[in-house]
């Protein structure tokens, strides 16, 4: 199949850049990929009113994501413990996304029209990760993240497959982890970037393809690769040397939801081969939504809110940063999750569950 090109998802016409970001080689390389783009100097990647922080941008949300790129310098090179999907969260090489999933948590800190911000001090970021890996030594015991390796999530605040359209940060991280015998990189994605198949990850990078039933994805996974194409890519990524897991995420409860998931499980079983199944594991994450995002969505995609915002089965929860989130009520959620896991065990007995929440 032909390599994915940037045009359908990203077509940069304006680059907002901190001067220090363009002083670095990676910043100049990224800007050079879009020679016709206007360069707009900014003091901080956090404060650009015309691309984040203004809810009126909802009317040109997709255009901003397609046409705007922000270049910044990552100030905090900190590796944080996680213990759920990964052992650690690596310093981000990007935040924001070119896609526009209706439930996404990533834009909440910068404003809901948040396009990709790429950090150009990649050498500094990689150095921080390498030093952390070296300090950890050998993993003493298996856990839900991995049986042998320390796992570092390198894409907490972005989609690395889309980030790779903009420059070499993601490739540099994949290559970095091939130098380690005790650690691996991990990132979740909803975008099939077949250019990644030309790299040599040596089983030191875990790609987690996020999946949900096709009709629900059409409603809520805006600007992403269609689910059948994500499934079709799994065997190719395994053959190319990636560890490939899947995220069943988010699980959205709506009329007929379990039968739709049954169909998705059967689609996955039929769509991948023995090698992929032998190394497969999954995460299951029930929907968490956000009150402020709900209000924004009503201005551009109210149809999605019919399934995402359901006060009759949800409860509020204040997050660590003070945001008001909603999730399925505790007792109800446990029942939903139990039914989901029972169906998963019935349809995909070879798919180990690493993490369910």
Give how far the C-alpha of residue 108 lies from the chain's centroid of Cα atoms, to the nearest Å.
15
Lowest mean pLDDT among 9-18, 107-116, 287-296: 107-116
What pTM, to 2 d.p., does this model score? 0.94
Domain that holds residue 222: 14-356
Three-state DSSP class for residue 149: coil
Q: Helix 257-271 crosses helix 227-239 at what angle (to 10 degrees)?
A: 30
- pLDDT (average), residues 283-296: 90
pLDDT-derived band of residue 5, with 50, 70 and 90 as boundaries? very low
pLDDT for position 107: 61
The answer to whether residue 38 sits within a structural domain is: yes
pLDDT for position 48: 85
* Whether the Cβ atoms of residue 168 and residue 26 lie closer than 8 Å to each other: yes
Structural domains of the chain, count: 1
The answer to whether residue 105 sits within a structural domain is: yes
CATH of the domain at 28: 3.80.30.30
Check pLDDT > 80 for residue 181.
yes
Three-state DSSP class for residue 330: helix
- pLDDT (average), residues 230-240: 98
The answer to whether residue 269 sits within a structural domain is: yes
pLDDT for position 6: 39
The answer to whether residue 5 sits within a structural domain is: no
The answer to whether residue 4 sits within a structural domain is: no
Lowest mean pLDDT among 80-84, 122-126, 223-227, 318-322: 318-322
CA separation for the pair 142, 161 (Å, rounded): 28
Check pLDDT > 50 for residue 1.
no
Quote the mean pLDDT of the chain. Answer: 92
* Whether the Cβ atoms of residue 177 and residue 207 lie closer than 8 Å to each other: no
Lowest mean pLDDT among 3-7, 96-100, 153-157, 344-348: 3-7
* CA proximity to 164, closest of 185, 145, 134: 185
pLDDT for position 47: 83
**In the numeric block, which tokens belong to residue 217?**
């994805």
The answer to whether residue 9 sits within a structural domain is: no
pLDDT for position 57: 59
């Amino acid at each position: 199949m032909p390599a994915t090109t940037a045009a359908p998802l990203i077509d940069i016409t304006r680059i907002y850049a901190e001067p220090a970001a363009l002083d670095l080689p990676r910043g100049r390389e990224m800007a050079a990929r879009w020679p016709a783009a206007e360069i707009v100097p900014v003091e901080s990647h956090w404060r650009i009113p015309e691309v984040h922080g203004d809810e009126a941008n909802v009317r040109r949300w997709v255009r901003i994501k397609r046409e705007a790129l922000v270049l910044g310098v990552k100030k905090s090179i900190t590796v944080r413990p996680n213990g759920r999907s990964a052992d650690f969260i690596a310093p981000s090489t990007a935040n924001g996304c070119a896609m526009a999933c209706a439930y996404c948590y990533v834009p909440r800190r910068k404003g809901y029209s948040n396009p990709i911000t790429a950090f150009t001090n990649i050498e500094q970021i990689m150095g921080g990760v390498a030093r952390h890996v070296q300090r950890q030594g050998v993993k003493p015991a298996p856990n839900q993240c991995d049986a042998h390796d320390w796992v570092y999530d390198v894409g907490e605040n972005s989609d690395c497959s889309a980030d790779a359209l903009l420059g070499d940060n993601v490739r540099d991280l994949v290559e970095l982890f091939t130098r380690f015998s005790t650690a691996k990189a991990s990132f979740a994605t909803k975008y099939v970037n077949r250019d990644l198949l030309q790299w040599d990850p040596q089983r030191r990078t875990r790609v987690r393809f996020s999946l949900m039933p096709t009709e629900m994805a059409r409603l809520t996974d805006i600007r992403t690769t269609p689910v059948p194409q994500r499934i079709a890519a799994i065997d190719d990524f395994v053959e190319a040397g990636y560890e490939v897991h899947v995220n069943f995420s988010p699980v959205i409860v709506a009329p007929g939801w379990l039968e739709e998931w049954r169909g998705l499980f059967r689609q996955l079983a039929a769509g991948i081969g023995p090698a992929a199944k032998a190394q497969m594991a999954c995460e299951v994450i029930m929907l968490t939504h956000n009150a402020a995002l709900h209000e924004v969505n009503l201005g551009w995609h109210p149809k999605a809110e019919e399934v995402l915002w359901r006060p009759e089965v949800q409860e509020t929860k204040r997050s660590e940063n003070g945001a008001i989130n909603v999730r399925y009520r505790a007792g109800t959620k446990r029942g939903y999750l139990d039914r989901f896991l029972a169906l998963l065990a019935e349809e995909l007995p070879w798919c180990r569950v690493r993490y369910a929440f």
